[in-house]
Amino acid sequence: MLKSTSVQITTFVNPHLFWFFEKNEEEKRTVLIYDKSIWKRAIVKSIENNSYTTWLIDYGVTYISNKLYQLSKEFQHQPAFAKQAALNDVVNVKHVLGGVKIEVASTKEFCFGTVKKAKEKIDRAHSIFFDCLIERNNIHLGEVNIIDSNNRLYDLAQLLVEERNLTYNKELFDEALEVNSKIDDWGILSSIKSITPCTSMMYRKNLDVFQGIEDILEVKPCGRGMLRNSHPKK
């Protein structure tokens, strides 16, 4: 993304590990195409010379097809648009007693209080925007800007820095990101209030459903082609 995009943060684990939807993408109509004996979800990008240029949302590639099929609403908003993200160049801080005053020290791992305060601000947000500064290993590093209920716009990371929950530290950021952006046990997400994030395992599950899609929904053409209620003949 090259500009600020309206998003919905679906799952927030810590400032270096959360997922979001781009709302403008989510609102586009999702359709089905049939390719190599597999039903695949797609968004139409353009129409030219009697063919559709589509974006396969579960594969992250473009595909040209001359037929589109209607996808049941039940499957249109499965979270395939979810992107993993992290607040850029910030790390956690801890307060330690140094002589006669309390000093702030940078740490790699986030404490419970920092995560709680960040989630509270996200939960109370009226609107959320994400500016992607760089993408690294499929992780979108950037800034989260929030409009609150009082119509006040603020940078989430900057506010958490001002509240002494985070600090800017480019030198420590890469190490902290390596620690915080991975989950060994995805089961812990079940305890987090969220819209289910899209993991590679969930991609496979969704695609298995689409392979047998005729068993659970009526497939209708929304472009060229005949009505099909089952897989096309091979």
Q: What's the confidence (pLDDT) of residue 167? A: 95
Interval 11-21: pLDDT, tens: 888 999 988 87
DSSP E strand boundaries for 59-180: 61-65, 69-70, 83-87, 90-98, 101-107, 127-136, 139-147, 153-155, 166-168
Please tell me the predicted confidence (pLDDT) of residue 117: 95
Order of all β-strands in the sheet with 61-65: 61-65, 51-56, 38-48, 30-35, 69-70, 220-221
In the chain, the percentage of residues whose pLDDT exceeds 90 is: 36
pLDDT at res. 122: 94
CB of 42 closer than 8 Å to CB of 31 = yes
Which CATH number fits the domain that encloses residue 14? Answer: 2.40.50.90
Range of the domain at 217: 27-81+199-221
- pLDDT recorded at residue 175: 96
User: Does residue 67 fall inside a structural domain?
Assistant: yes
β-pairing verdict for 51-56 and 90-98: unpaired
pLDDT in tens, 67-100: 888 877 766 666 555 688 999 999 999 877 766 7
Residue 33 tokens, joined:
């195409």
* Total domains, the chain: 2
Confidence at residue 191, expressed as pLDDT on a 0 to 100 scale? 55
* 33, 109: one domain: no
What pLDDT, on a 0 to 100 scale, did the predictor assign at position 76? 64
Helices (DSSP H) in 41-193: which residue ranges?
Answer: 73-76, 112-123, 156-162, 170-180
- Which phi and psi (to 5°) does residue 69 adopt? -130, 150
Average pLDDT over residues 3-10: 79
Rounded distance between C-alpha atoms, residue 154 and residue 7, angstroms = 15
For the domain that residue 204 is a member of, what is the CATH number?
Answer: 2.30.30
